Structure 1
């Protein structure tokens, strides 16, 4: 792993890893928690809900639920709707490349990774606690349907136990912020751009607004988050 890529080999996997694989021409990624024995626990939603941007962009993206050209002999079919499921690693990757999400990165590294949904400033909990959260939610579900808006929200909760106090329309995941961040940055920086016609200055301002929005929205920087025991989510 490094500045340019979080790609890893299967031999590097260990239980408790937050992994992901890109979908739809690298527009967004599907995230899950590797729990060992070639199994991944992850959260899936149907078409129009998977990314969780709360905008029309969601409806332009296909569901990231695992799919293979040949039926899998070990994984049960994924039902319509949404929920927490367990799949083998091959079904989870759906022919894609394996990446590992990074935790506890420095602010410099976080901002250097221009694409959201690959790392966070938040610190991960111990691996055994992470696996417990994922398996507990798989077995017991969760009480509120709005707790997780997409697969990255689920994986980040399993790794940190953190939830945003006020759940909004838009997911707090890095990739949701990244997808809408570019257009939003352009809009927010428009008043600043009116003072100059220099294209480089306009671009620099838009990038600055985009980076600031990503940094402020990261789960590791937010002050409106609480640590929630996994047993409380099933109430």
Structure 2
């Protein structure tokens, strides 16, 4: 795995790895946690989806295990209404290429990855704790699926870091949603430049700068977000059940690697 590509071989996987595979012509990636023995735990729409009301909802059909006509002999069919599922690696990849998500990357590395949803500045917890969180959420759920605020990438990042975004009015932990929102946002924010210049290259440079700044500021490990807390998986599921997630007391968030 390097600067240009996070692609990895199956043989290099370790329990606790955050993996993903691109879907729909590289428009959307599906994320999960590899837990060993050729199994991946991941978050899907289940029966608790909150849609966007836009064409983005069509991308969500790729966020589950393979829907082959021939049932997989090793995968357990997901229960209705439970978005966290366990699949074999083949069903998770659904014919796609295997990639591993990067953690503790440097700011330069992060910004060099122009596409969000491939790495984070945040620090990963030990692999055994990551697997524990994923298996616990397999039994207890991860709340209501939302493409912007609580999706498969958010699930995997939470399992890896224990970090959670409390403000439900904002985007979640993942960088994929930031990329979707950040491109149009950069174009809008850079539009006033047209009042003082007609240089298309200058406007493009400003738009790129705004986009990169927004991605960096929104990353869960940047230290710039004030809506991020460290939450134990047991506390998370209890508070999800009681609707008290927003009152969790903040804990220190590890600083990004310089």
TM-score norm. by structure 1 comes to 0.91
Question: In the alignment, what sits opposite 1:211?
Answer: 212
2:69 pairs with 1:66: no
Secondary structure at the aligned position of 1:61 is classed as: helix
Contact 2:164 2:173 in 1 (8 A): no
Q: Is the 8 A contact 1:24 1:62 kept in 2?
A: no
| 8 A Cα contact 2:118 2:175, kept in partner | yes
Partners of 2:66 and 2:57 lie apart in 1 by 19
From 221, 226, 229, give the equivalent of 1:223: 226
Matches within 5 A, 1:190-205: 190-205=191-206
What runs of 5+ residues in structure 2 fail to find an aligned partner?
Answer: 239-258
1:39-76 CA-to-partner distances (Å, cap 9, x unmatched) read 000000169x69x8x57242242422121433211112
Q: 1:127 — aligned with what?
A: 127
Aligned counterpart, 1:175: 176
Distance, in Å, in 1 between the alignment partners of 2:170 and 2:226 is 18
Report the equivalent of 2:91: 91
Residue by residue over 1:172-196, the C-alpha shift from the partner in whole angstroms, topping out at 9 and shown as x without a partner, is 4101111121111101110123211
Aligned length: 232
Q: Distance in 1 between matches of 2:30 and 2:103?
A: 17
Distance 1:201 1:11 in 2: 46
Aligned to 1:234: 237
Question: Post-superposition shift, 1:232?
Answer: 0.8
State the Cα distance separating 1:220 from its structure 2 match: 0.3
5 Å-filtered alignment, 1:129-168, equals: 129-142=129-142, 144-145=143-144, 149-168=150-169
Per the TM alignment, residue 16 of structure 1 is displaced from its structure 2 partner at its CA by: 0.3
Give yes or no for contact 2:82–2:141 (8 Å, CA) kept in 1. Answer: no
Higher RCO structure, 1 or 2 (CA under 8 Å, sep 6+): 1
Structure 2 CA distance, aligned partners of 1:157 and 1:9? 24
C-alpha displacement of 1:81: 5.0
TM-score by length of 2: 0.83
Question: How far apart are the structure 1 equivalents of 2:113 and 2:53?
Answer: 24
Q: Using the TM superposition, give the Cα deviation of residue 149 of structure 1 relative to its aligned residue in structure 2, in angstroms.
A: 1.4
Q: Find the aligned partners of 1:24 and 1:146 in 2 and give their Cα distance.
A: 19
Deviant stretches of 4+, over 6 Å: none
Change (3 A) 1:174 1:127: same
**2:249 maps to which residue?**
none
Which runs of 5 or more structure 1 residues have no equivalent in the other structure?
none
Query: Over aligned residues, Cα RMSD in angstroms?
Result: 2.2
